[in-house]
Structure 1
Amino acid sequence: MIAPESETCDVLIVGGGPGGSSCARGLRDSGLDVLVMDKATFPRDKVCAGWITPPVVDLLDLDLDDYKREHALQPITRFRTGIIGGPAIETEYDKTVSYGIRRCEFDDYLLKRCGARTQLGSPLKTMERSENGWLINGSLQAKLIVGAGGHFCPVARRLNQANPSEKSVVLAQETEFELTPEQQSLCRVKPDTPELYFCRDLKGYGWCFLKDGFLNVGIGREGEKQLSAVRDEFTDYLDREGRVPKEILGKFKGHAYRLYGLQKRTIIDDSVLLVGDAIGMASPQSGEGIRPAIETGLIAADMIRDCQRDYSKARLGTYQEKVFDRFGEWSDHPEASFIPAAFRQFLGRRLMSTQWFTRMVLLDRWFLQQHLLPLVHG
């Protein structure tokens, strides 16, 4: 079955988050007809602590002065870290090392400026092989599909239906809401100082961010099936410590994402590839996924440009090679986890109470990823 000629595109990007919109923007002026499809209408809620580092600003060529005119943009110059139930320490920088953003605003901004056509509020229901690529939902013909729909991406599910294991998956819950003046007087979280509190077994952590009057509180744990109980323990701790009164917290929403490299995944096939959380690109140390989503989206765009409309699996293998070159290959050690096992078992809480380790490893390397060289693309 062939779709009507009027319902066609060269590249269909399924998912309008940072990975999908970055891929679309990377294909501007390529001569390709690019369509972004998403089941949600934008702006939409997204469970995420919500920060971006200066390398992300550079990758996106983001004009911060323009962005902050209408969107939350909170400079971050220090962090408060500790173990849930234990003492905390503050680490101060002499410059801005990150920016707090609201994902509902950030994702909408990136999608609107990407330059591609959009089809929002339209879930991908069916995808069938056709003579020229794919037939989507029985009516849209696409030569190449980019799966960018996050952890639950239908394109990723199709590529990995023979290996549906949920290993290395982090479950998260978060609430984000605007504080009233009275609530602000009761909350001790500082706008320029995100707070990170690790679970005692170091299999996850909770966070508190205050961004232009919006408070974001959440927690994520690897493989945790009873996350609500852990969340309650965390919010009780915040209440006892006088950081965030429990009674002001809004309703928590859930999400899931996959840590990168801990389980083999299929990311390419004939006329299809995955980017961002559809692959499972979150950092194994911090769970951060915005930067790798953007980078894989840009790597994919560069490769698509170079393919000269040959979207065979053999040709798309170049994309997989570039992803592995940038982020490393899959781990052969299934016991690898959110925090390295040896660290968790022997040194975790002691090291995290030291200023040196907190800054040089926990923050600089794991959360800010200052050791990574800028991505060369285009």
Structure 2
Amino acid sequence: MEQTKVLIVGAGPAGTTCGLLLKQRNIDCILIDRATFPRDKICGGGLTPRSYKLLSRLMPDFRYDYNSVHRLKLCIEGEQVLDFMMDEEIRIVKRRTFDAQLLERYQQAGGTFVNDALIGIEESGPQVIVTLKSGRQIACEYLVGADGANSRVRKYLNPHASHGILCMEQYGPKSADRSAEGRSLPTGRENAIVGNLSRFYRQGYYYSFPNESYDVQGFGDYMTTPQMFRKVLRDMGCPDEKPLGAYIPQSTEYPLRKNIILIGDAGGFPNRLTFEGLYYAFLTASHAAMAISTGAPFPLVNKQVFENKKWEEYASRFFYSEIGLAILKFFCKTTPGLITWAFNKAAR
């Protein structure tokens, strides 16, 4: 049986970041993923200022491709209520390329990557024994689940864990202003991010993120279905394209163990209000590496993040309520400077 100190399941941003930080601390680890990279990944691909600033602190020499966006347009019920230039750019990455670049950086640092699938977990005293689809077995002191919304590691800890919110998106062509029901609607044509809120959505929103060659158009809420997704995008004047779907976990309801750690989407850490996942992928990955290298319990190192999830849940319920949307619309029209200030502050 193979031995390693840390086995990380999932080679997305959370897994590769954790693995790289462990290698920098000279801690033996193995990273596994069933996918062959580069691979497609549903995600708007937006790196907020706090995301890329954290990434640059963790990996100062990491270079990646992105589209710089400064303009944001907000709509409520299809009516544009805000159009402003952000203080700092949002970097739109293509996840297929970005994730592959992160994995390559991990391997350049000497990290071991195994293209295989996890099929079994067994705890044996202080060790965790993992069985892979190929038949290989690896014993480790720490098992880190970074395998996304459908995490097998989270299912091991809690077989009844919720998948979370279904988010669907498509890659649409960059086009001139679309219109629906006679209304002129904004697009990412001017290299702008577009969002739409509605009282008919259940704690979710429509979005359009511009890449250099196409727009990522998506929708997600607690009641998302393929039919609802198609209706929302048609209401926003988007042409039909091939849809993709993925879950965004919104719960951290699972037992916390010292030697089994969940990070990123696998741990249910995406922002409850905005669904932003990359920032918390990097942050929880760094917390996991710190906990493993120092021997401190992960729940203690990651305490502030767990507490943030509770406040985000309360904020989300109010923000997406009819009252919350009415208040937001009022302030967007009467004091837009206040809203833009709040957004810029939250994005830093």
The TM tier, using the shorter chain, reads 0.7 to 0.9
Equivalence for 1:11: 6
Q: Distance in 1 between matches of 2:168 and 2:319?
A: 27
* Correspondence list, 1:40-189, <5 A: 40-61=35-56, 66-68=63-65, 73-93=66-86, 95-114=87-106, 115=109, 116-120=111-115, 122-130=116-124, 133-137=127-131, 139-161=137-159, 164-166=160-162, 169-176=164-171, 179=173, 184=175, 188-189=187-188
Specify every segment of 5 or more residues in structure 1 that has no aligned partner in the other structure, as ranges. Answer: 308-314, 371-378
Instruction: Tell me the secondary structure at the aligned position of residue 340 of structure 1.
Output: helix
- Give the deviation of 1:165 after TM superposition: 4.8
330 and 195 in structure 1: CA distance in 2 versus 1, 3 angstrom threshold: closer
| Alignment equivalent of 1:303, drawn from 288, 291, 301 | 291
Q: In structure 1, what is the equivalent of residue 210 of structure 2? A: 210
Cα distance between partner residues in 1 of 2:233 and 2:250: 25
Verify the 8 A CA contact 1:133 1:143 in the aligned structure 2.
yes
State the aligned residue count.
Answer: 326
1:349 aligned residue (297, 317, 326): 326
- The answer on whether the counterparts of 2:199 and 2:320 sit within 8 Å (CA) in structure 1 is no
Q: Tell me the amino acid that sits aligned with residue 93 of structure 2.
A: I
The match for 1:310 is none
Q: Which amino acid aligns with 1:349?
A: A
* TM-score normalised by the chain length of structure 1: 0.78
Q: Which residue of 2 aligns with 1:26?
A: 21
Task: Say whether 1:194 aligns with 2:193.
Answer: yes
More strand by share: 2
Answer whether contact 2:81 2:329 (CA < 8 A) is retained: no
Q: 2:304 aligns with which of 317, 325, 345?
A: 325
Residue 183 of structure 2 is matched in structure 1 by: none
Candidates 262, 287, 298, aligned match of 1:274: 262
Whole-Å Cα distance in 2 between the matches of residues 284 and 65 of structure 1? 28
Structure 2 match to 1:257: 248
1:364 aligns with one of 327, 335, 344: 344
Distance 2:311 2:189 in 1: 41
User: 1:143, CA displacement in angstroms?
Assistant: 2.1
Question: How far apart, CA to CA, are the structure 1 residues paired with 2:43 and 2:15?
Answer: 17
- TM-score with structure 2 length normalisation? 0.84
Distance 1:343 1:185, change over 3 A: closer
Deviation at 1:54, TM superposition (A): 2.7
For 2:270, give the aligned amino acid: A
Please tell me the residue identity of whatever aligns with 1:219.
F
8 Å CA contact 1:75, 1:96 repeated in 2: no
